[in-house]
């Protein structure tokens, strides 16, 4: 099985189709570009399934300097593991 590490933005897009947090960091024009980038990246990886446990922290990197495997964001931060089905 092939695993991928996704940023919080990709996690919320995949799990909830929720992009609302983007408005905290981006302008309206930037949000549209960011959503398009997230969508392109996730479509390329599909089908995927969550492969982490938030209660134990398994499959979660609290802080990672590596880029997101979904959208390619180079911003450091939390990553969640997903596995291709």
CA distance 76 to 55: 22
Domain boundaries, the chain: 3-84
- The DSSP call for residue 69 is T
Give the C-alpha distances (Å, rounded to integers) separating 78 from 28, 65, 71.
24, 9, 14
Using the CB atoms, write b or e for 40-49: b if 16+ within 10 Å: ebbeebeebe
Instruction: Output the pTM of the full model.
Output: 0.88
The pLDDT, as a whole number, for residue 5 is 97
CA distance 1 to 25: 34
Tens digits of pLDDT across the chain (85 residues): 799 999 999 999 998 999 998 999 899 999 999 999 999 999 999 999 999 999 999 999 999 999 999 999 999 999 999 999 8
């Amino acid at each position: 099985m092939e695993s991928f590490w996704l940023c919080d933005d990709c996690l919320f897009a995949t799990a909830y189709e929720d992009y609302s947090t983007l408005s905290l960091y981006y302008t309206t024009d930037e949000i549209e570009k960011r959503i398009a980038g997230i969508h392109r990246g996730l479509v390329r990886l599909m089908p995927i399934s969550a492969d982490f446990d938030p209660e134990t922290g398994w499959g979660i990197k609290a802080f990672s300097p590596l880029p997101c495997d979904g959208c390619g964001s180079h911003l450091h931060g939390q990553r969640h593991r997903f596995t291709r089905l």
